[in-house]
């Protein structure tokens, strides 16, 4: 596909601006405001986010995951610890997250160190999931090559029978990660690609400073 065809889908962002006076001094409170507005706007899966990780030799990879909680400590998602992202986070415990809320012409970019959440947090979330999702997590050796679809379906059926009427234990290889940000950028689309970009940067004393970035 050539540039002329791609130019047909070009969009100029014109909904609103973003000024320093418009945002909260605390980036987590500001994220809550924008997240609530994304939910109210009918954004499909507003908790969907790109998670970017890197191997120890600096080779990046990215995928979509779902935000499952956030507070002043950071942003939480759950996965298989033995997956590619789990391996990369063990090797290089830093990540970047990106939310894109197209209905609001907004992005949020988050970067920071990553740690595992506590076993208690992982247990609580695991047992809040539908039974089928618990079985799926236990059945899958995520990111490993398998011979066919039937392999995973057969394993899921075996576990369903094994735990019929019983609590399904959380596998040791499955749990949560928390991205603990040192920067959070709020991006608002503007006309002629002159976007508003406000970045919160954590300082040495733990407070946050707000900086405007050139588009």
Cβ atoms of 24 and 57 within 8 Å: the answer is no
Inter-helix orientation angle 131-139/149-162, to 10°: 120
- The CA–CA distances, whole Å, from 4 to 10, 176, 192 equal 10, 44, 18
Nearest CA among 187, 191, 186 for reference residue 14: 191
Report which of 209, 173, 177, 175 is spatially closest to residue 75, judged by C-alpha positions.
Answer: 177
Q: Which tokens go with 213?
A: 């970035």
From CA 202, how far away is CA 71, in angstroms rounded?
Answer: 15
200: which strand partners? Answer: 184, 210
Overall size of the chain counted in residues:
215
Residues 6+ apart with CB under 8 A from 149: none
Instruction: Quote the longest CA-to-CA distance of the chain.
Output: 59
HSE-up of residue 97 (Cα within 13 Å, Cβ side): 27
Are residues 122 and 182 in contact, defined by beta-carbon separation less than 8 angstroms? no
| Catalytic residue ranges | 193
């Amino acid at each position: 596909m050539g540039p002329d065809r791609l130019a047909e889908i070009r969009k100029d962002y014109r909904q609103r601006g973003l000024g320093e006076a418009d945002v909260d001094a605390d980036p987590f409170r500001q994220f809550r405001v924008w997240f609530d507005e994304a939910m109210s706007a009918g954004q499909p899966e507003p908790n969907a986010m790109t998670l970017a990780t890197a191997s120890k030799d600096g080779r990046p990879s990215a995928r979509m995951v779902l935000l499952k909680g956030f507070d002043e400590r950071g942003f939480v998602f759950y996965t298989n610890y033995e997956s590619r992202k789990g391996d990369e986070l063990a090797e290089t415990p830093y990540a970047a997250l990106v939310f894109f809320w197209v209905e609001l012409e907004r992005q949020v970019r988050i970067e920071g160190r990553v740690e595992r959440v506590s076993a208690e947090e992982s247990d609580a979330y695991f047992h809040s999931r539908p039974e089928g999702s618990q079985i799926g997590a236990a059945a899958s050796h995520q990111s490993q090559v398998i011979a066919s679809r039937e392999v995973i379906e057969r394993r899921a059926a075996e576990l369903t029978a094994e735990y019929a009427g019983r609590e399904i234990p959380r596998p040791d290889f499955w749990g949560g990660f928390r991205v603990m940000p040192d920067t959070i950028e709020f991006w608002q689309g503007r006309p002629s690609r002159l976007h508003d970009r406000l970045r919160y940067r954590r300082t040495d004393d733990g407070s946050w400073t707000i900086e405007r970035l050139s588009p």
